[in-house]
């Protein structure tokens, strides 16, 4: 059910990505970027939907911890290997390597991932249930007497707004507020990612042990005051590093358990649809968070310290949304993985 989308989207993205560095105009670069993102959009949600297809509900947080670990390691490899390739083999080399890596991942997925014929809960209607659009699926969530699913999506919107805004502004904050050199600022800002990678698997284990809702609430309860402390007390390198490392660990508790939580309050027959809703909230936040935070910085005289307060407010709003989510144990649905 998912491999067709991957087989369609990955080659489109890989081919367009190769042409970005050789484009001869800004318009051409924009076109190739658009095609790349289109191709990736075709297969990203179906690929992540395998988390729901292939793992039982009580295993999904641990599995998502591994997914985030691998994604983080991949990001670091791209950062360091891409830089080396650029310096030694030219500007096209990182793009070619990225496309090759994407195609290798495509082959691995096609050969080694054994999709279930049908989820036991979903039965023969599972595919039909996922064909509706985002608006139709949102209506289904809103019409549910239990509004926990709505609050989960609102929480996801708020905490990704908070984190994306902060992540985007960290290097600028380090340079323009703390007076760091750009190179050092970039390295220090990356400590959030390193800390997140280290704590991603423990976060998944904790989510499986005490529940995803409780784990996320612990993360949000720590992040909101930590961001306030960042606004008030970061004055130099040491305090900056301490806050970033703590933020990465707490963010792992939230992020790793986010998508499995959506499945908990969704419908096993609509894994792909609820993955789409998750991305609808998170990608909307990726646009709104940095945009609103940037507008705030501009309005207040280019003072990047305000981004910490902005992120604290939205983390607190996310905590309020999650506090309205009713505690729920994920169902022990058996997911059959018998053949393609």
| Exposed/middle/buried for residue 173 (C-beta within 10 Å: 0-12, 13-18, 19+) | buried
Residue that wins the pLDDT comparison between 299 and 91: 299
Check residue 169 and give its pLDDT. 93
Check residue 134 and give its pLDDT. 62
The yes-or-no verdict on residue 320 having pLDDT over 70 is: yes
**Co-location of 95 and 135 in the same domain:** no
Domain closes at, from 57, 91, 116:
116
Quickly count helices (H) and strands (E) in the chain: 15, 0
Check residue 133 and give its pLDDT. 60
Position 132 confidence tier, pLDDT thresholds 50, 70, 90: low
**Co-location of 103 and 166 in the same domain:** no
* Cα pseudo-dihedral 53, 157, 67, 138, rounded to 10: 10
Q: What are phi and psi of 118, to 5 degrees?
A: -160, 140
pLDDT digits (tens, 9 = 90+) for 66-98: 988 888 888 888 877 887 888 888 888 999 999
Domain closes at, from 91, 116, 141:
116
Out of 120-129, 208-217, 274-283, pick the least confident.
120-129
Find the helix or strand (DSSP H, E) in which 305 lies: none
**Co-location of 140 and 200 in the same domain:** yes
**Co-location of 171 and 300 in the same domain:** yes
**Co-location of 28 and 157 in the same domain:** no
Out of 19-23, 61-65, 121-125, pick the least confident.
121-125
Within a domain: residue 337? no
User: What's the sign of the alpha-carbon dihedral 266, 269, 270, 272?
Assistant: positive
What pTM value is reported for the model? 0.81
**Co-location of 16 and 83 in the same domain:** yes
Within a domain: residue 191? yes
Spatial separation of the C-alpha atoms in residues 177 and 171, rounded to whole Å: 10
Range of the domain at 260: 131-323
Check residue 333 and give its pLDDT. 41
Within a domain: residue 159? yes
The yes-or-no verdict on residue 262 having pLDDT over 60 is: yes
Question: Over pLDDT 90: what percentage of the chain?
Answer: 49
The residues near 80 (Cβ < 8 Å, ≥ 6 apart) are: none
**Co-location of 250 and 198 in the same domain:** yes
Evaluate whether 321 touches 160 at the Cβ level (below 8 Å). Answer: no
Domain count, the chain: 2
**Co-location of 265 and 231 in the same domain:** yes
The residues near 222 (Cβ < 8 Å, ≥ 6 apart) are: 246, 250, 253
Within a domain: residue 294? yes
Position 329 confidence tier, pLDDT thresholds 50, 70, 90: low
Check residue 54 and give its pLDDT. 81
**Co-location of 86 and 145 in the same domain:** no
pLDDT digits (tens, 9 = 90+) for 213-227: 999 999 999 999 999
**Co-location of 165 and 55 in the same domain:** no
280 CB neighbour count, 10 Å cutoff: 18
The yes-or-no verdict on residue 340 having pLDDT over 70 is: no
> What mean pLDDT is predicted for residues 315-325?
95
**Co-location of 257 and 300 in the same domain:** yes
**Co-location of 67 and 171 in the same domain:** no
**Which tokens sit at 44?**
């990203």
- Count CA atoms within 13 Å of residue 92 on its CB side: 6
> What mean pLDDT is predicted for residues 51-63?
83
Spatial separation of the C-alpha atoms in residues 28 and 153, rounded to whole Å: 36
Check residue 210 and give its pLDDT. 93
Evaluate whether 269 touches 123 at the Cβ level (below 8 Å). Answer: yes
CATH at 138: 1.20.1250.20
**Angle made by CA atoms 326, 332, 337, in degrees to the nearest 5:** 135
The yes-or-no verdict on residue 197 having pLDDT over 80 is: yes
Domain closes at, from 59, 84, 116:
116
């Amino acid at each position: 059910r998912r491999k067709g989308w991957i087989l369609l989207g990955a080659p489109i993205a890989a081919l367009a990505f190769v042409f970005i560095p050789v484009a001869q105009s800004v318009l051409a670069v924009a076109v190739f970027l658009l095609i790349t993102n289109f191709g990736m959009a075709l297969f990203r949600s179906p690929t992540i939907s395998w988390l729901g297809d292939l793992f039982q509900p009580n295993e999904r947080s641990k599995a998502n911890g591994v997914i985030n670990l691998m994604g983080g390691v991949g990001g670091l490899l791209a950062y360091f290997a891409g830089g080396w390739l650029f310096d030694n083999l030219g500007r096209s080399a990182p793009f070619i390597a990225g496309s090759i890596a994407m195609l290798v991942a495509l082959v691995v997925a096609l050969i080694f991932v054994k999709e279930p014929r049908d989820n036991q809960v979903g039965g023969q209607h599972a595919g039909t249930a996922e064909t509706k659009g985002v608006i139709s699926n949102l209506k289904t969530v809103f019409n549910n007497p239990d509004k926990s699913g709505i609050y989960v999506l609102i929480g996801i919107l708020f905490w990704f707004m908070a984190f994306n805004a902060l992540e985007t502004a960290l290097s600028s904050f380090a340079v323009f507020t703390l007076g760091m050199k750009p190179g050092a600022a970039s390295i220090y800002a990356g400590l959030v990612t390193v800390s997140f990678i280290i704590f991603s698997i423990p976060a998944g284990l904790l989510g499986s042990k005490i529940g995803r809702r409780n784990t996320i609430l612990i993360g949000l309860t720590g992040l909101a005051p930590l961001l306030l402390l960042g606004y008030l007390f970061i004055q130099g390198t040491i305090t900056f590093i301490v806050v970033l490392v703590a933020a990465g660990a707490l963010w792992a508790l939230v992020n790793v358990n986010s998508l499995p939580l959506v499945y908990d309050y969704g419908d096993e027959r609509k894994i792909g649809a609820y993955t789409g809703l998750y991305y609808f909230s998170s990608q909307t936040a990726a646009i709104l968070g940095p945009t609103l935070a940037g507008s705030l910085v501009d309005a207040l005289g280019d003072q990047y310290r305000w981004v910490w307060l902005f992120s604290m407010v939205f983390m607190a709003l996310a905590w309020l949304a999650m506090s309205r989510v009713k505690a729920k144990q994920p169902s022990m649905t058996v997911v059959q993985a018998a053949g393609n």
